[in-house]
Amino acid sequence: MIPNVATHTTWTPPHNPWYKVNVDGAVFQHLDAVGIGVVAWDHSGQCMVAMSKKLWVPLGPLEAEAKAMEEGIDFAWDVGLRDVVFETDFELLHRSLTGSITPPATIQNIVNSCIMRLQDFRAVQLTHIRRNGNKPAHLLSQHAKGLETFATWIENIESALTQDVLF
């Protein structure tokens, strides 16, 4: 079982040498698509990498959030993060991933995939944060609406995100 950490109201950076990956999903019902937002932070609160991605699939809010977690896990692995706190603002998903509830059938396969993939990491924690503490990932999930596929930010990320996403 993956360690379960209490719900937070405000965002806090992870402890050194960990990284924190915040994820969020957005539903674009009229497009039959979803947006995925992923942001990885270091222990000093610096944004290291981020991704905004559109998936052309008609999912509901829970399924979009589960898919965001799956994409966030893959993204974290691909950029070389190994000690990671994964954080979501969807409590049902958090409880499903930590084993405190049985996942709804609509996300069972994604949850199983996430749990299997998390075993590859050196160390993992899963946390839940209230929506107001997950704003950067939320903005990135909304930003995906204007994308055809995906965008990533790696260098000079704060200024790039400010210009591309926030304004």
SS3 28: strand
Domain span holding position 143: 4-158
For residue 54, being part of any structural domain is answered with yes
SS3 68: helix
Give the pLDDT of residue 6. 58
Q: What is the CATH number of the domain that holds 133?
A: 3.30.420.10
- Say how many domains are in the chain: 1
For residue 166, being part of any structural domain is answered with no
For residue 8, being part of any structural domain is answered with yes
For residue 167, being part of any structural domain is answered with no
List average pLDDT for each run of 10 residues in the chain, which is 167 residues long: 64 95 98 98 94 98 98 98 97 97 98 98 96 93 96 73 54
Give the pLDDT of residue 154. 86
For residue 164, being part of any structural domain is answered with no
Give the pLDDT of residue 167. 45
Residue 150 burial (CB < 10 Å; 0-12/13-18/19+)?
middle
Q: Are strands 123-129 and 4-8 parallel, antiparallel or unpaired?
A: parallel
For residue 165, being part of any structural domain is answered with no
